[in-house]
Amino acid sequence: MSSRPSKTAPLFWLLFSGGGTASALLLPAMLFITGVAVAAGWMSDDELLAFIKNPLTRLALVGLVFLFLFHWAHRFRYALVDLGLSRIGTQAWLFYGTALAGTIVAGLGALRL
């Protein structure tokens, strides 16, 4: 661990907390949609497809993937450190890099539609 204050740490903490709030407020409803409404057939394949293709939905989904993945990256890597796996947990680039890559993949998928 470096003794100098990190310049990027506040940014990652902000994304962690933004993603934490977004997922705390939205995930139960989203899980209900895909896990209950779609699974029970209340939302047909055409309805779900039209919903995903809506530009506003696509924008929201990419934004959520961005926040969700950076929330995971931050929390999970510190949990690994707490579990004694600090060799992996301190490789910040691995986790934030995965989050960034996932956001780019989501963005490309949304742009392709």
Asked if residues 77 and 18 have their Cβ atoms less than 8 Å apart, the reply is no
Q: Which of 18, 48, 90, 100 binds another protein (CB under 8 A)?
A: 48
- Contact in structure between 110 and 59 (CB atoms under 8 Å): yes
Nearest distance from residue 91's CB to another protein, in Å? Answer: 16
CA distances from 16 to 3, 45, 48 (A): 22, 33, 29
Nearer to another protein (CB atom), residue 61 or residue 92: 61
Query: Which residues in this chain contact another protein in the complex, by CB under 8 A?
Result: 17, 19-21, 23-39, 41-43, 45, 48-49, 51-53, 58, 61-62, 64-65, 68-69, 71-72, 75-76, 78-79, 82-84, 102, 105-106, 109-110, 112-113
